[in-house]
Amino acid sequence: MTDLATFVAAATEFLDAHRARRPETAADFVWGEGDDFVGIVEEGDPATELAGVRLAQEWAATRFDAGFGWIDGPRELGGAGLPTAFARAYRGLEARYELPDLSIFTIGLGMVAPTVAAHARPEIAERFLPSLYRGDTIACQLFSEPGAGSDLASLSCRAERDGDDWVLNGQKVWTSNAHHAHLGEVICRSDPDGAKHQGMTAFLVDMSVPGIEVRPLRQMTGGAGFNEVFFTDARVPDTYRLGEIGAGWGVALTTLMNERASIGSGMGLARGPGPFERLIALARVTGADNDPIARDHLARLYIDHKVLGYTTRRAVANMAAAGLPGPEMSVLKLAGTRHLIDIADYAARALGPKLTADTGEWGTFAWTKLVCGVPGARLGGGTDEINRSIIGERVLGLPREPRP
Ligand SMILES: Cc1cc2nc3c(=O)[nH]c(=O)nc-3n(C[C@H](O)[C@H](O)[C@H](O)COP(=O)(O)OP(=O)(O)OC[C@H]3O[C@@H](n4cnc5c(N)ncnc54)[C@H](O)[C@@H]3O)c2cc1C
Measured from the Cα of 152, ligand 1's closest atom is 21
264 and 331: one domain? yes
CA atoms within 13 A on the CB side of 36: 20
219 and 346: one domain? no
Task: Report, as residue numbers or ranges, the catalytic residues.
Answer: 259
Q: How many angstroms separate the alpha carbon of residue 384 from the centre of ligand 1?
A: 9
pTM: 0.90
pLDDT of residue 363: 76
156 and 223: one domain? yes
Is residue 13 one of the residues assigned to a domain?
A: no
| CATH code for the domain of 282 | 1.20.140.10
Is residue 69 one of the residues assigned to a domain?
A: yes
Burial class (CB in 10 A: 0-12, 13-18, 19+), 21: exposed
355 close to 365: Cβ distance less than 8 angstroms: yes
Q: How many angstroms separate the alpha carbon of residue 13 from the centre of ligand 1?
A: 43
269 and 373: one domain? yes
Q: Which of 214, 229, 379 to mutate to test the pocket of ligand 1 (most atoms within 8 A of CB)?
A: 379
Domain limit, last residue, from 247, 269, 297: 247
Domain limit, last residue, from 133, 164, 189: 133
pLDDT of residue 269: 42
Q: How many angstroms separate the alpha carbon of residue 179 from the centre of ligand 1?
A: 20
Beta bridge partners of 237: 165
Q: How many domains does the chain have?
A: 3
Nearest Cα residue to atom 38 of ligand 1: 150
Measured from the Cα of 383, ligand 1's closest atom is 47
- Alpha-carbon distance of 123 to 126, in angstroms, equals 5
Is residue 3 one of the residues assigned to a domain?
A: no
pLDDT of residue 237: 98
Domain that holds residue 166: 139-247
Q: Which of 41, 109, 144 to mutate to test the pocket of ligand 1 (most atoms within 8 A of CB)?
A: 144
Mean pLDDT by 10 residues, the chain (404 residues): 91 96 65 53 65 93 96 92 91 88 91 96 97 97 96 96 98 96 98 92 98 94 90 98 97 87 57 72 82 90 91 81 77 90 90 85 82 90 92 92 76
Q: Is the CB of 143 under 6 A from ligand 1?
A: yes
Is residue 400 one of the residues assigned to a domain?
A: no
Largest CA distance in the chain: 72
What sign for the dihedral angle of Cα 41, 47, 48, 54? positive
Q: How many angstroms separate the alpha carbon of residue 219 from the centre of ligand 1?
A: 15
342 and 314: one domain? yes
Q: Is the CB of 380 under 6 A from ligand 1?
A: yes
For 287-351, where are the alpha helices, taking DSSP H only?
A: 292-322, 328-351
260 and 368: one domain? yes
